[in-house]
Amino acid sequence: MLALAATAAHAAEPAAVAWWVWPLALFVVTFLLGIVAVLGGVGGGVLFVPIVGGFFPFHLDFVRGAGLMLALSGALSAGPGLLRSGMASLRLAMPLALIGSIASIGGAMVGLALPTNVVQTALGAVILMIVVLMWRAKKSERPEVAQPDRLGAALRMNGIFHDAASREEIDWRVHRTPLGLVMFAGIGFMAGMFGLGAGWANVPVLNLLMGAPLKVSVSTSSFLLSIIDTSAAWVYLNRGAMLAMLTAPSILGVMLGARIGGKLLRTAKAATVRRIVIGLLLVAGARALLKGLGIWN
């Protein structure tokens, strides 16, 4: 996938290539990203921004705007099913989303104000940090929450869901809510600044820090993105950092790829796909970092 993107990027000067080659290449690459993202359990945005920003001729400002729309589209499509099933929790999401969406506006404004090389360097560093997080992060199917904290209890951030795999009803609650809110401010800021979506950070905070069950964390994280990314996406649209020729093919490519990925999910080897995702992020993160530092242009 990276080779395809790199070949397209180095095939010729942008001006010498017919205009339609780029959206077509973008559609093919995002289609593949959609498959890998679903199989690897990550959002499309976290792969899209460093790969397209690093290997396509589009400026990072437009890539980040498209990355947010990509993450938003995926979250919006998944939202209704997750909410109806009770796997995502509106009560858990609303306070966190409020903090996250305010912070994401700030992140988007800062990202659009900073020089490109600074954003590119920071993006590379964040992607490499995500690689470490993905490599080392533990998950807890059902974290032990002996006592909910006072804020979590007051906001009744708890619920019951039916786990179809174990055929059990799982009663859950959260703790460390104030720290969770602080973390979501940081997550929202980074989502807005880099256009990454933020599932990679939402899930560990909800699951490991706040103690929500893994399935509730993954589902609520996806729903949260639909709110947090909305505010940042508007900032990019209002600033003019949205290109139809970049945004629409990317959304369509990832959505179609995600459908194929969903079908392959039963047969794919999770560990292998995870290594592929980490490998892609490692190369794309290194590329972003080196491009930002002016070492690999």
Partner 1 sequence: MTQRDYASEEQRLYARWLDYGTRIGFVVLVATFLAYVFQLVPPAIDFDDLPKYWSLPVNEYLAATGAPTGWGWVRRLGSGDYLNFLGVAVLGGVTIVCYLRLLPALLSKGERVFAIICAIEIVVLAVAAAGIVGSGH
Among 4, 80, 171, 259, binds partner 1 (CB under 8 A): 80
Binding of residue 221 to partner 1 (CB under 8 A): no
CA atoms 193, 196, 197, 202: torsion sign: negative
CB of 54 to partner 1, least distance (A): 13
Is residue 109 packed enough to be buried (19+ CB in 10 Å), middle (13-18) or exposed (0-12)? middle
* 64 versus 176: smaller Cβ distance to partner 1: 64
Rule CB under 8 A: choose which of 150, 162, 259, 275 binds partner 1.
162
| 52 torsion bin: left (phi>0), alpha (psi -120 to 50), beta (else) | alpha
Q: Is residue 181 involved in binding partner 1 (CB under 8 A)? A: no
Residue 70 in the binding site for partner 1 (CB under 8 A): no
**For partner 1, which is the closer residue by CB, 52 or 210?**
52
Whole-angstrom Cα distance, residue 224 to residue 133? 20
- Decide if residue 153 touches partner 1 (CB under 8 A): no
Q: Which of 46, 251, 280, 283 binds partner 1 (CB under 8 A)?
A: 251
3-state secondary structure of 159: strand
Instruction: Tell me if 120 contacts partner 1 by CB under 8 A.
Output: no
Choose between 33 and 93: whose C-beta lies nearer to partner 1.
93
- Strand, helix or coil for residue 50: helix
* φ/ψ bin of 156: left (φ > 0), alpha (ψ from -120 to 50), beta (otherwise): left
The one among 6, 9, 23, 41 contacting partner 1 by CB under 8 A: 23
Helices and strands: H and E segment counts in the chain: 12, 2
| Residue 72 near residue 233, CB atoms below 8 Å | yes
Contact status: 271 vs partner 1 (CB under 8 A)? no
Q: Cβ distance 33 to 48 under 8 Å?
A: yes
Closest of 197, 209, 230, 193 to residue 67, by C-alpha: 197
Q: What is the dihedral of CA 96, 219, 244, 67, to 10 degrees?
A: 70
Between residues 99 and 273, which has the closer beta carbon with respect to partner 1?
99
Check binding of 227 to partner 1 (CB under 8 A): yes
Q: Which residues bind partner 1 (CB under 8 A)?
A: 14-15, 17, 19-20, 22-23, 57-59, 61-62, 69, 72-73, 76-77, 79-81, 83-86, 89-91, 94-95, 97-98, 101-102, 105, 108-109, 112, 116, 154-155, 159-162, 164, 226-227, 230-235, 237-249, 251-252, 255
